[in-house]
Amino acid sequence: MSKFQLDSGKEIDSNDCLRYRNDSDYPESLTNYYYIPSNEQLKEDDWYSPKYFNTGDYNGGISNLVNRQILLKEYPDTEGILEVYGSYSHATLLIRLDVLNKNQELQDLIFSLEDYPCLDDELHSELEEEAKQDSWENTRYDFIRELQRKFDYNFESLNNDFIYALFSRLEEVSNTYWYFEHMNAYFPIDDMLSDLTQEDILKYFKEVFQDLFDGDVEKIKD
């Protein structure tokens, strides 16, 4: 494994770098880059590929998406900083070594991720909420299915606002939390309902019904 030493003294490993295929005319595609053989020296026109920016169906997560968005916002349309794409929704950032070497602020931004892996906690929370909303249809389906196993009642006939409000109330009282895998949000419906009795659920059903619709039966149905 070879190393590239920046003027700041920081060393970049060849394992974290890619080399562009000079015969390619599409630099935004990851297929046009290859890993550098361990017996070859890194060059200034090689590309640094930090792990903190990878996202996709099978890698990375919301923190990495935050990092990529923040860096691109700080360095828009900058020569030598490139967002690239691969299969299975894979996306990441590449930074050419000569560009990285000449920009201490860019180095500070990237290497700060070694100590704390997210550049913006507020944006991270926003993107988590977006992921939850994106998964709501599947979560709603699972929630209704499990409710109908407990009660002989067609919960599908109830409007979405009520279903969402009831779900949110049960989420809160059961102290059950969403979890995230890569870019997707999931909610453990079974865990939420496992410790709630029928009486518990009916109690919160009535409370939400009263809070949301003031007891008006006609408003609860789609």
Q: Cα separation of 142 and 149, whole Å?
A: 11
Q: Cα separation of 193 and 149, whole Å?
A: 11
Across residues 34-41, what is the average pLDDT? 92
The more confident residue out of 29 and 151 is 29
Q: Is 58 left (phi over 0), alpha (psi -120 to 50) or beta?
A: alpha
Cβ of 171: how many Cβ atoms within 10 Å?
16
**DSSP letter string, the chain:** --EEE-TTS-EEEGGGEEEE-TT-S-TTBGGGEEEPPTTS---TTSEE--GGG-BSSSSB-HHHHHHHHHHHHHSTT-TTEEEEE-STT-EEEEEEHHHHHH-HHHHHHHHGGGTSS-S-HHHHHHHHHHHHHHTHHHHHHHHHHHHHHHSSS-GGGB-HHHHHHHHHHHHHHHT---EEETTEEE--HHHHHHT--HHHHHHHHHHHHHHHHTT-GGGGB-
Domain boundaries, the chain: 3-119, 135-220
Average pLDDT, the chain: 94
pLDDT digits (tens, 9 = 90+) for 6-22: 999 999 999 999 999 98
Give the amino acid at 67: N
Answer yes or no: is pLDDT of 109 > 80. yes
146 burial type by CB count under 10 A (0-12 exposed, 13-18 middle, 19+ buried): middle
Q: 164-167 long-range contacts, Cβ below 8 Å, gap at least 24? A: 164/136, 164/140, 165/208, 165/211, 165/212, 166/204, 166/205, 166/208, 167/139, 167/140, 167/143
Q: How much is the pLDDT for 195? A: 86
Answer yes or no: is pLDDT of 154 > 90. no
Residues across the chain: 222
Least confident window among 135-139, 150-154, 168-172, 212-216? 212-216
Q: How much is the pLDDT for 222? A: 59
Answer yes or no: is pLDDT of 218 > 70. no
Across residues 66-84, what is the average pLDDT? 97
pLDDT digits (tens, 9 = 90+) for 159-196: 999 999 999 999 999 999 999 999 999 999 999 999 89
